[in-house]
Structure 1
């Protein structure tokens, strides 16, 4: 599942990374988006970019091309 498939308020867990762009993967890891991390989609800008998430007690803004490398699963 991709971040673009979610609605605001949904909670997801990172289960991996797509291997398209390793430089973005390293950047996301440095921001605390590691495998097993749960976060909530807060909002998406009107044109779909950027995307705001709430992770580990803080807000994080991601560009759509950064967010698309995250492999996610819904948390119930």
Structure 2
């Protein structure tokens, strides 16, 4: 089931399926936010934004409005 990145729960892993390149910063793409790469939600900020992810061993903070532009499929536990 395809969902967006904001629906991932802390500690869950997923695979990136699709990225809306027009609406996310180029820096995220350079850091590995690309289809086929694995991603894990590590931490949520105290006020809920940003979200802290591990993308292929690269730690990245992503704001919710950007995370909505990244589609994933959850890894089977």
Offset of 1:66 from its aligned partner?
1.3
TM-score (norm 1): 0.82
Unpaired runs of 5+ residues, structure 2, are none
* Residue 60 (structure 2) aligns with: 60
* Residue 3 (structure 1) aligns with: 5
Q: Give the 3 Å change call, closer, same or farther, for CA 70–23 of structure 1 in structure 2.
A: closer
Unpaired runs of 5+ residues, structure 1, are none
* Residue 31 (structure 2) aligns with: 31
Distance 1:60 1:25 in 2: 12
Aligned length: 74
Cα pair 1:12 1:38 within 8 Å, conserved: yes
Q: Give the 3 Å change call, closer, same or farther, for CA 25–69 of structure 1 in structure 2.
A: farther
Deviating beyond 3 angstroms after TM superposition, the runs of 4 or more aligned structure 1 residues are none
